[in-house]
Amino acid sequence: MTRAIYFDHNATTPVAATVADAIAGALALTGNASSVHTAGRRARQMVEEAREKVAELVGASPAQIVFTGSGTEANNLVLSGTASRHILASAVEHDSVLAAADNIEQMPVDGDGVIDVAALAARLSDLDGQALVSVMLANNETGVIEPVAEIARIAKEHGALVHTDAVQALGKINVDWTDLGVDFMSLSAHKIGGPQGVGALVINEEIPLQSLIKGGGQERSRRAGTENVPGIVGFGAAAKLAATNLDEIEEIKTLRDHLESGIRTIAPDTVVFGESVDRLPNTTCLSMPNVSSETQVMKFDLTGIMVSAGSACSSGKVQASHVLKAMDVVEEFASTAIRISLGHGNTMDEVEHFVSQWRKMYAQANPNKLKGAA
């Protein structure tokens, strides 16, 4: 039987047993968090406890957390809720940012995928305080970390608001609301071991924000709709766990580095995107000459290894990555790139098995480069 190796933690990461138990506990209870009776108050208490845990993970206060139905919704809420402003977003943002409003001007990034801060500052001075800057904390495809605190400082000098999509960064690096100095920050539960379909927007309460979903007055009138109590409880449990799991990240980085050096031993000229700048410790995005991304994903899957081609967030459709395009990566490398994202539970043995499978595939496609390895 083929062994299953899950190397796609940036797409979604498994729900921990304690989180599943917390969700099951919440599902077993009846109660709408808006009801005033005993069952309703119990549901409300569970929501508020989860809010405290999520707030604590990012160093914000519970009142700043607005629960949403996903990270996508959090991004949409802030971009459409402040849409009277001119939006400047980096060209490597997730689609849930780039597609969230019509008035988005994309800002260039360099060859490593880091936003051109000087170009951003120049546009901010033209816009005279009427802008919202949206720059992700870490990229989902390459793991490249953006200089968000510096961007926030510059944006403030120009009177602009700042949003960061911290969906991928959360649980992988320290994410601190105060250090970042932003006005809005998007989070998603399922990237930190919580359930899918729950997110949060952390807000600066003083800034007016139009709600996206209209109806009841839930989430202090910022997000209508009966709260997803089990999902929110799961998010809270995952946030609590994420604070402890952060200690493990050095081990995950050792695995990632071992994987990259193993591949480099086979093919010294392998392109690893964003390699020379700060990256998430669990992520690598690299090319294999002469094997398309889709073929690699399928062939690895046949050997039990799950990786992804660029962003896995677009319902399985494989298309040229807008992230690599924005980085000016030539077609030959962009069309042969895969993302490997490690997480809790991965082992050195799995990494070595992956490297040996990579070697086989590489040797088959590049017989003159690696004779006898297939």
Known catalytic residues are: 313
Q: Which of residues 215-234 bind ligand PLP (CB under 6 A)?
A: none
CB of 200 to ligand PLP, least distance (A): 10
Pick the closer one to ligand PLP by CB: 65 or 136. Answer: 136
Interface of this chain with ligand PLP, residues 105 to 164, rule: CB under 6 A:
136, 140
Which is nearer to ligand PLP, 140 or 366 (by Cβ)?
140
* Closest distance of CB 188 from ligand PLP, Å: 3
| Residue 285 bridge partners (DSSP) | 339
- Identity of residue 99: A
**Residue 276 Cβ vs ligand PLP, minimum distance, rounded to whole Å:** 21
Number of residues that bind ligand PLP (CB under 6 A): 14
167: contact with ligand PLP by CB under 6 A? yes
Alpha-carbon gap, residue 188 to 70, rounded angstroms: 6
The token duo for 205 is: 């309460």
- 72 counts as binding ligand PLP under rule CB under 6 A: yes
Stretch that binds ligand PLP, among 53-61, 64-72, 239-247, 322-330 (CB under 6 A): 64-72
Q: Do 118 and 125 touch, CB atoms closer than 8 A?
A: no
For residue 238, which of 149, 343, 163 has the smallest C-alpha distance? 343
Q: How far is the CB of 94 from ligand PLP (least distance, A)?
A: 4
- The answer to whether the beta carbons of residues 109 and 273 sit under 8 Å apart is no
Q: Which stretch binds ligand PLP (CB under 6 A): 36-44, 165-173, 216-224, 317-325?
A: 165-173
CA–CA dist 306, 298 (Å, integer): 9
Binding to ligand PLP, residues 191-210 (CB under 6 A): 199
Q: Are 373 and 362 in contact (CB under 8 A)?
A: yes
Q: Which tokens in the block code for residue 157?
A: 């000098």
Return the residue of 127, 246, 313, 355 that touches ligand PLP, per CB under 6 A: 313
* Alpha carbon distance, N-terminus to C-terminus of the chain: 21
Residue with the CB atom nearest ligand PLP in the bound state: 71
User: The tokens 């780039």 sit on which residue?
Assistant: 98
Q: DSSP characters for 209-256?
A: ---SS-SS-HHHHTS-S---HHHHHHHHHHHHHHHHHGGGHHHHHHHH
- Shorter beta-carbon distance to ligand PLP: residue 94 or 163: 94
| Alpha carbons 365 and 81: distance in angstroms, whole number | 49
Binding of residue 173 to ligand PLP (CB under 6 A): no
Instruction: State in angstroms the smallest separation of the CB of 72 from ligand PLP.
Output: 3
Residues in touch with ligand PLP (CB under 6 A)? 70-72, 75, 94, 96, 136, 140, 165, 167-168, 188, 199, 313
